[in-house]
Amino acid sequence: MPVYYFHIRSDRGVHPDMDGVRLPDGEAVRREAIDRALVEMAEGEKHAQDRTGWAFDIRDDHDRPVLELPFAEAIPQG
């Protein structure tokens, strides 16, 4: 199973994911990114930080881009 790295881009720069996570496919990567973005935004709220402008830059174990997901896209609509 491939390893994916969920690097965070914030207003302070890039925060690298040094551990990565094994996931079966692109759909699992997207679901994981949405879940992690929601957790990061909730954590930000606890510290009076607006993290909706942050994004994930997700790369595979060969450092190839897989997905870019702005945290704002994880917010449920409706």
Position 76 scores a pLDDT of 92
Boundaries of domain holding 14: 3-74
Residue 6 tokens read as: 């969920």
Q: How many domains does the chain have?
A: 1
Handedness of CA 35, 62, 12, 73 (dihedral sign): negative
pLDDT at 78 over 80: no
The predicted model gives 52-63 an average pLDDT of: 97
